């Protein structure tokens, strides 16, 4: 490589950054030997590179909290909420299909518990929006309601009071037995109690026969806005469903449980 009087800046940078062949390097060094100012400039640039590594390479090794977050960004949230209404409508149909098609599909044991939650979600979605006919028998006829449902379920029922949490018994209705009911001794129908607070928010308590002595702890599930606590206690399975948050529903579920197990 022949060097004219001036060395191009590109070549000088490439020399500093190690981008030259050994022949080229030799030519540059020969030039620098004759031009001390350019040589000083090149030395200064080289020592900058070294100094940058000297002070910043420690960053490569230090502990840090930077993580790759693969969850959807918060910006996606509005899209999600816009679709909740549509999801809720789909849910009713989906649960109905699931209820018919999948009830008791899975092996015995898990199935009844899942199933009661599904049935509660279905009933809640179907009857809570009803303005005029949410119940067959109103809470004003509570004695009659409880006697009637107890007779149909063939076991003494209670309608727990949720008044201390601000929910009045709105009434109740009878629902058909789950299809091909393997869990219940007989294909007994199902009771649904509905409660309403001063703001018009409603809760559903579904009660149905289960295989006795399969008591479970509280279990929780949620579909869309609707939260469900469900458990088996004695001859009955219970599922309390409401469009409230988990903590609030847990408080209500405990209230129900305590009254059923005084």
Partner 1 sequence: MASGFTVEQLQAQIPRLRRYARALTGSRESADDLVQDALERAWTKRALWRPDSNLRAWLFAVMHNVFVNGVKRTRPMASLDALNEESNVEPAASSASAETDAALREMQSALARLPVEQRQVVLLVGLEQFTYAEAAEVLEVPIGTVMSRLSRGRDRLRQLLDEEPGGHGALRRVK
Residues in contact with partner 1 by the rule CB under 8 A: 9-10, 13, 17, 19, 41, 44-45, 47-62, 64-70, 73
Q: C-beta of 235: minimal distance to partner 1 in Å? A: 50
Q: C-beta of 34: minimal distance to partner 1 in Å? A: 21
Q: C-beta of 138: minimal distance to partner 1 in Å? A: 53
Q: C-beta of 63: minimal distance to partner 1 in Å? A: 9
Pick between residue 63 and residue 107 the one whose CB is nearest to partner 1: 63
Pairwise CA distance, residues 23 & 201, whole Å: 85
Q: C-beta of 36: minimal distance to partner 1 in Å? A: 15
Pick between residue 53 and residue 144 the one whose CB is nearest to partner 1: 53
Pick between residue 21 and residue 259 the one whose CB is nearest to partner 1: 21
Task: Give kind and range of the element (H or E) at residue 168.
Answer: strand 167-175
Assign 107 to helix, strand or coil: coil
Q: C-beta of 55: minimal distance to partner 1 in Å? A: 5
**Residue 169: exposed, middle, or buried by beta-carbon count in 10 A (0-12, 13-18, 19+)?**
buried
Cβ proximity of 29 and 53 under 8 Å: no
**Residue 92: exposed, middle, or buried by beta-carbon count in 10 A (0-12, 13-18, 19+)?**
middle
CA distances to 47, 120, 145 from 13, in Å = 13, 74, 92
Cβ proximity of 205 and 195 under 8 Å: yes
Pairwise CA distance, residues 252 & 69, whole Å: 36
Cβ proximity of 236 and 251 under 8 Å: no
Task: Give kind and range of the element (H or E) at residue 113.
Answer: helix 110-127
**Torsional sign, CA 126, 128, 129, 135:** positive
Pick between residue 66 and residue 198 the one whose CB is nearest to partner 1: 66
Pick between residue 45 and residue 257 the one whose CB is nearest to partner 1: 45
Pick between residue 40 and residue 163 the one whose CB is nearest to partner 1: 40
Pick between residue 56 and residue 79 the one whose CB is nearest to partner 1: 56
Q: C-beta of 24: minimal distance to partner 1 in Å? A: 15
Give residue for tokens 């001390």. Answer: 36
């Amino acid at each position: 490589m022949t060097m004219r009087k001036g060395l191009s800046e590109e070549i000088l940078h490439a020399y500093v950054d190690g981008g030259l062949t050994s022949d080229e390097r030799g030519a540059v060094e020969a030039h620098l030997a004759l031009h001390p100012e350019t040589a000083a400039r090149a030395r200064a640039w080289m020592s900058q590179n070294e100094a940058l590594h000297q002070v910043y390479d420690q960053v490569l090794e230090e502990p840090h909290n930077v993580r790759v977050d693969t969850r959807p960004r918060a910006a996606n949230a509005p899209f999600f909420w816009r679709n909740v209404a549509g999801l809720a409508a789909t849910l009713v149909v989906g649960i109905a299909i699931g209820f018919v098609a999948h009830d008791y599909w899975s092996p015995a044991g898990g199935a009844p518990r899942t199933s009661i939650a599904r049935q509660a979600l279905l009933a809640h979605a179907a009857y809570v929006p009803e303005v005029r006919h949410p119940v067959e028998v109103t809470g004003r006829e509570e004695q009659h309601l409880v006697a009637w449902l107890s007779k149909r379920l063939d076991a003494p029922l209670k309608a727990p009071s949720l008044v201390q949490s601000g929910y009045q018994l709105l009434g109740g209705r009878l629902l058909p037995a789950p299809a091909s009911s393997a869990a219940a001794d007989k294909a007994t129908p199902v009771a649904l109690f509905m409660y309403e607070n001063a703001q018009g928010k409603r809760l559903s308590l579904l009660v149905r026969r289960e295989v006795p002595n399969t008591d479970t702890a509280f279990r929780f599930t949620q579909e869309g806005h609707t939260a469900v606590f469900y458990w088996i206690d004695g001859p009955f399975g219970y599922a309390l469903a409401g469009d409230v948050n988990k903590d609030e529903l847990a408080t209500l579920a405990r209230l129900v449980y305590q009254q059923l197990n005084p």
